[in-house]
Structure 1
Amino acid sequence: MATIKDVSKLAGVSVATVSRYLNKNGYVSKEAAATISAVIDKLNYRPNNIARSLAGMKTATIGLMVPDILNPFFPELARSIEDAANEYGYTVMLCNTDNDSLKEQKYIDTLLQKQVDGIIISSYTIEPEHLNGLQKQSIPVVLMDNVFSNDSVVSFTVENRRGGELAVEHLLTQGCSKIAHICGPLTITSSRERTAGFEDASRRTDWFTPSLIGYSDFTVNGGYSTMKELLALHPNLDGVFASNDLMAAGALKALQEAGKRVPRDVKVIGFDGIGLEMITPELSTIAQPIYELGKTAMDSLVGLIRKEPDIVTDRVFPVTLIAKQSTMNE
């Protein structure tokens, strides 16, 4: 009896491509589809649904929950997850929660009704009981950009605290002597860690004062308004570290409106490494390995679905300083 590997070999395509063709999900070129169809007829191949089920693919669908699709970080993350899912023959259902825990629970209920094979959750508002409920129903889950202690959920994060230190150290090497920080929501683990990194580096100087830290949300408007507040308190500040790139973009606008030249008068650095090429000056940032994060999360989820013994477990990814025009000396 012919197998899917036989079809793959004779058609000259990957097993994942044959799987996408059979399940009618994911992209398969017209040429490949025609070749696969001809080979299936030639070999009289019939998909083994029982074997497919035992292999762990019930619906060949996974859920992806993100808090804010308007933040460019999350579309980039979703793209990497979708690319990896496509290779495995899975379709991704994207759920935008708007940082709303009630909406989040509704999406979880919907994904369970759709009988998804697993869920990747990138959320700032997810509650431990939500994760425990999924585990009780044997739904594989991978958590991103968040960590819960005392649970068995696989999670992936980055060196947020070290990133905060790197940002301050870079500004100091560029000659800054009074650096402000635009902190994200304190309810978010990554935000708290980035601020802790800022404090680690800043407290080693003689200029640090808590009033140099302003509090905002992860938006352009949040960075804009908080930057204005910080300038009112410290008009002689000469460096700014914002907890994400969107807030840094808002800070640039506020500084320009105040007549401050970037980077001559004030140097600005963000965090995330998202594509903001249209901003002038080009923004320095502490970059996360976004594509690698998404791919690793999908690899791990598939391993959980298939009950593989050696899956990718909890991991903290390194961050990278990318220096551009907004912090470099002219």
Structure 2
Amino acid sequence: MVTIKDVAKEAEVSVATVSRVLNNQGYVGEDTRGKVEEAIRRLKYRPNNVARSLFKKKSKMIGFIVPDITNPYFPQLVRAVEDVTNKAEYTTFLCNSDEDIKKELMYIQKMQENHIDGVIIVSNTLQLHHLENLDLPIVALDRFFHKNIPSVTIDNYKEARKAVSYMIKIGCKSIAHIKGPDNIVNSVLRLKAYEDEMRECNLPAIICSGGYQFKESEKAMINLFKTNPGIDGVFAGNDVMAVGALKAANRLNLKVPEDLAIVGFDGIEWTETVSPEITTMVQPIYQMGKRAANMLLHLIDGKELEDMHVVFKTELTIRETTKA
């Protein structure tokens, strides 16, 4: 393998001079620069990115930790982040954590070893003490992490209440909620919103757990109908579970929306690819990912943020799983 020392020897200059040419740092005479560039071409030298990052103090890489890459919500976030960072000539180091603290800590260690310039996290397991000694910018996405960590989120409680309120307004009297995992803040806030809205309207709370998963939510809804056959509406804690509820309705020969109204949350593309198309609270997923990426690049450049915590609004998008 050709090294920087080989290039220096071929060009009859010092290693420091070759480094200045490679990184475009400091003064190098035109004749000397030409000799170095010719030696690089002749020897087909490819600079070591890690070595260059040590010299420049930047690796041009960012880390992105997501909990479940199989959930269509997260690839849409990843796409937005990459669109922004690629334009800035950064590479995204994508990590799927499964909400496993050991995996997340391992990823962070690897990021440090590779001199990552900054990281975007979607995590409910990491705590502030895991990150406060890291000497790199961090932005939390989708979930508020800590007042000292910049974040891009939505108001899950407020927006979920809008969804349940809408279902009541269209005439649903027995609304079930498929909740997500108990350890995920978004899931807990959406559940609380459902419970508070139902209590204030003097309606019974009917709850089952779908774990933010398709198959799990389908089974949960089938079992729930055995004990609550009068359910006329389902508010799902995310769109994946809303699709599971729709599948359960088909298996139970229930007509949607005539027998059962379904409302999801997130706004992933799945909601438009099934039939009937699912009414849902649409998050501006792309805009959220884009904002988080721009915030991180801003921090990497040593600039202060105008707004540490950005909260986006959702939009109720009415489709075929609810009656007018």
TM range (shorter): 0.7 to 0.9
Residues in 2 aligned to 1:67 and 1:198: alpha-carbon distance in whole angstroms: 24
Deviations 1:174-194 (A, max 9, x none): 221111101111211111111
Counterpart contact for 1:300–1:312, Cα < 8 Å? no
Whether 2:71 is the aligned partner of 1:71: answer: yes
Deviations 1:15-58 (A, max 9, x none): xxxxxxx99xxxxxxxxxxxxxxxxx9xx9xxxxxxx989x860
Counterpart contact for 2:295–2:305, Cα < 8 Å? no
Matching residue's letter, 2:78: A
Aligned counterpart for 2:314 among listed residues 299, 314, 319: 319
* Shift in alpha-carbon separation, 1:291–1:57, aligned structure 2, 3 A: farther
Three-state SS of the structure 1 residue aligned to 2:106 is helix
Residues in 1 aligned to 2:299 and 2:306: alpha-carbon distance in whole angstroms: 7
Aligned counterpart for 1:255 among listed residues 249, 253, 267: 249
Residues in 1 aligned to 2:170 and 2:250: alpha-carbon distance in whole angstroms: 20
Aligned counterpart for 1:138 among listed residues 132, 135, 150: 135
Residues in 1 aligned to 2:106 and 2:250: alpha-carbon distance in whole angstroms: 42
Q: Within 5 Å, which residues of 2 pair with 1:131-280?
A: 131-132=131-132, 136-149=133-146, 151-209=147-205, 212-276=206-270, 277-280=272-275
Deviations 1:181-210 (A, max 9, x none): 01111211111111111122111223223x
Superposition deviation, residue 145 in structure 1 = 2.2
Residues in 1 aligned to 2:288 and 2:110: alpha-carbon distance in whole angstroms: 25
Residues in 1 aligned to 2:222 and 2:188: alpha-carbon distance in whole angstroms: 22
* Shift in alpha-carbon separation, 1:197–1:83, aligned structure 2, 3 A: same
Matching residue's letter, 2:236: A
Q: Provide the TM-score with structure 1 as the length reference.
A: 0.79
Whether 2:125 is the aligned partner of 1:125: answer: yes
Counterpart contact for 1:84–1:298, Cα < 8 Å? yes
Q: Quote the sequence identity (%).
A: 39
Q: Provide the TM-score with structure 2 as the length reference.
A: 0.80
Residues in 1 aligned to 2:58 and 2:247: alpha-carbon distance in whole angstroms: 49
Superposition deviation, residue 87 in structure 1 = 2.0
Three-state SS of the structure 2 residue aligned to 1:69 is coil
Deviations 1:259-293 (A, max 9, x none): 11110000001100000122111011111110111
Counterpart contact for 1:62–1:116, Cα < 8 Å? yes
Deviations 1:227-269 (A, max 9, x none): 1232122100100000000011111111111111110000001
Deviations 1:93-132 (A, max 9, x none): 1111122111111111111111110000012322332222
**C-alpha root-mean-square deviation of aligned residues, in Å?**
2.4
Counterpart contact for 1:296–1:312, Cα < 8 Å? no
State the match for 2:291 in structure 1: 296
Counterpart contact for 1:81–1:297, Cα < 8 Å? yes
Whether 2:278 is the aligned partner of 1:283: answer: yes
Three-state SS of the structure 2 residue aligned to 1:106 is helix
Residues in 1 aligned to 2:104 and 2:306: alpha-carbon distance in whole angstroms: 27
Counterpart contact for 1:269–1:327, Cα < 8 Å? yes
Matching residue's letter, 1:64: F
Counterpart contact for 2:299–2:305, Cα < 8 Å? no
Number of residue pairs matched? 278
Q: Which structure has the larger Rg over C-alpha atoms?
A: 2
Counterpart contact for 1:300–1:311, Cα < 8 Å? no
Residues in 2 aligned to 1:287 and 1:300: alpha-carbon distance in whole angstroms: 22
- Runs in 1 of length 4+ with deviation above 6 angstroms? none
